[in-house]
């Protein structure tokens, strides 16, 4: 289904439109993104379109979730292509604010979290989840969605958002969606565009390691350390790859865990050249 897409750059514009929809009794689905949309994002939007009357997609490269040495400036952007994808997937509204619209002068309120952010990306990127929680909190207040859609590609982020919604009594149903991959296995990511041809080949070490780890557990291995050892070996065999982390954690609390005796997340972050890529699998 496709229709006329509304594009809003202001908080007031979104609030007004969503307010009208709510008064009309429509259910609103929401997909927060940083843009440069691909089929991973599209799967979230399509699911939201299926399950709601109206769907809002935000396209906002959130500066406060980037560390000082990270890729904020070079992060890929293509708003026209993003809007075209949103329209043909059936979204109703794209919210694409300027940074000043979201963080006006004197902005000084942040949402932070302890437990779920201590490991994995929270350890490697110490201010990242504070930025994510703050912007998602703001976006939830602006968009007032009934349901919000997040990819398991960023599994820790999904866990963090679920905790925030529960801890702060927010009336939003958080829906997790499976990872969409290229045909050769690489998890789709806006950052894949940074990779040279040689690096693109090397990046397959991530999905190879994920597949091997998943298969070991499916075959009955319950010793997490053996699974991680196997996965590290696969990545270390690729000369262009440098491991940031390869870890197993409890899926609910994101605490390091060594046995497959409860739902676990096995997550990896690997530098391919200068590009940091992540991948994971969840064993419920
Ligand atoms: P981003 O634009 O990278 O912030 O991602 C926006 C949303 O899309 C997040 O919830 C991501 O987890 C999700 N997403 C990104 N890539 C994928 C993918 N390959 N498969 C599924 N979801 C994805």
The three-state DSSP-derived secondary structure of 81-148 is HHHHHHHHHCCCEEECCCHHHHCCCCCCCCCCCCHHHCCHHHHHCCCHHHHHHHHHHHHHHHHCCCEE
CA 32 to ligand 1 centroid distance, Å: 9
Note the pLDDT tens digit of each residue in 226-254.
Answer: 999 999 999 999 999 999 999 999 999 99
CB 247 within 8 A of CB 254: no
Q: How confident is the model at residue 3 (pLDDT cuts 50, 70, 90)?
A: low
Note the pLDDT tens digit of each residue in 160-178.
Answer: 999 999 999 999 999 999 9
- Please tell me the pTM assigned to this model: 0.97
Please identify, by atom number, the ligand 1 atom nearest to the C-alpha of residue 181.
Answer: 19
Note the pLDDT tens digit of each residue in 86-102.
Answer: 999 999 999 999 999 99
Domains of the chain, CATH where assigned: 6-177 (3.40.50.620), 190-279 (3.30.1300.10)
pLDDT (mean) for 144-171? 98
Q: Which residue's CA is the nearest one to ligand 1's atom 14? A: 151
The set of catalytic residues is 41
- Check if 179 has its Cβ closer than 6 Å to any atom of ligand 1: yes
Q: How confident is the model at residue 66 (pLDDT cuts 50, 70, 90)?
A: very high
pLDDT (mean) for 93-114? 97
């Amino acid at each position: 289904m496709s229709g006329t897409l509304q594009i809003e750059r202001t908080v007031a514009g979104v609030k007004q439109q969503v307010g009208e929809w709510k008064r009309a009794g429509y259910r609103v689905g929401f997909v927060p993104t940083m843009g440069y949309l691909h089929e991973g994002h599209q799967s979230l939007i399509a699911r939201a379109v299926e399950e709601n009357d109206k769907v809002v997609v935000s396209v906002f490269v959130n500066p406060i979730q980037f560390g000082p040495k990270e890729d904020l400036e070079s992060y890929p952007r293509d708003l026209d292509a993003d809007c075209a994808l949103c329209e043909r997937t059936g979204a109703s509204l794209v919210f694409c604010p300027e940074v000043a619209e979201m963080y006006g002068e004197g902005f000084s309120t942040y949402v932070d979290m302890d437990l779920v952010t201590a490991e994995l990306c929270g350890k490697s990127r110490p201010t990242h989840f504070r930025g994510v929680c703050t912007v998602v909190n703001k976006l939830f207040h602006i968009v007032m969605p009934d349901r919000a859609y997040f990819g398991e590609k960023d599994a820790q982020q999904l866990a963090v958002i679920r905790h925030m919604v529960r801890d702060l009594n927010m009336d939003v149903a958080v829906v997790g969606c499976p990872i969409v991959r290229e045909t050769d296995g690489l998890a789709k990511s806006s950052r894949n565009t940074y990779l040279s041809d040689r690096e693109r080949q090397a990046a397959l070490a991530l999905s190879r390691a994920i597949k091997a780890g998943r298969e070991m557990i499916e075959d009955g291995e319950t010793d997490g350390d053996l699974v991680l050892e196997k996965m590290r070996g696969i990545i270390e065999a690729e000369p262009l790859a440098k491991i940031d982390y390869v870890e197993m954690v409890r899926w609910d609390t994101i605490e390091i865990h060594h046995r497959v005796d409860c739902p676990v997340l096995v997550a990896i972050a690997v530098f391919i050249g200068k590009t940091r890529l992540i991948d994971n699998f969840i064993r419920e």
